[in-house]
Amino acid sequence: MNLQNGLSLIRKQFLMSSLKHNFFKEFRLQSSYYAVIHIYGRPFIVSEGDIVTLPQKLRDVSPGDVIRLNCVSKLGSRDYTLKGQPYIDEKLFTCKARVLELTKAPMSYFIKKKRRHRRIKIIKNKQDYTVLRISEIKVHEIQK
């Protein structure tokens, strides 16, 4: 019984490694990809050429910089999807974005008050935004 269990385990491992290799071979032949990237804990579904507006200012970047996005939870194409737990290993793909602009929204005002009190507080807010263009999503070859 132990010999058969050992042989079946070896067959399963061989089958899984060959399936994994075939999957990546087919996955790399796809024409376009999409990715679910996470920036400051927020997920964004992007593909190549998309413009993403982040509701906060990224630290230590300036317009024209190219940044690499390595927190990707899903990477897929029309036929295949690769899902990470929680993220995909960054050796398997490259996702790059160019910072287009760092901008601010127009001034917004909020009135804060309580019932039966005369006090009214006006809160002013000018939200920072970062605009990115996804320049590249590429899947690498898997090393044996």
In tens, the pLDDT along 9-56 reads: 455 454 456 556 677 788 888 889 999 999 999 999 999 999 999 999
Confidence grade of residue 1 (pLDDT, cut at 50, 70, 90): very low
Q: Which residues of 52-68 are buried (b: 16+ CB within 10 A; e: fewer)?
A: bebeeebeeeeeeeebe
Tokens of 64: 């024209």
Q: Which domain holds residue 38?
A: 2-52+62-98+132-139
What pLDDT score does 73 carry? 95
What pLDDT score does 26 carry? 84
Q: Is residue 21 included in any domain, yes or no? A: yes
What pLDDT score does 4 carry? 52
Q: How many domains does the chain have?
A: 1
Tens digit of pLDDT for each residue in 72-83? Answer: 999 999 988 889
Decide if pLDDT at 2 tops 60: no
Q: Is residue 30 included in any domain, yes or no? A: yes
Question: How many C-beta atoms lie closer than 10 Å to residue 9's C-beta?
Answer: 10
- Percent pLDDT > 70 in the chain is 84
Q: Is residue 107 included in any domain, yes or no? A: no
Q: Is residue 126 included in any domain, yes or no? A: no
3-state secondary structure of 132: strand
What pLDDT score does 36 carry? 97
**Segment 58-83 mean pLDDT:** 93
Q: Is residue 122 included in any domain, yes or no? A: no
Between these two residues, 18 and 86, which has the higher pLDDT value?
86
Tokens of 107: 């001034």
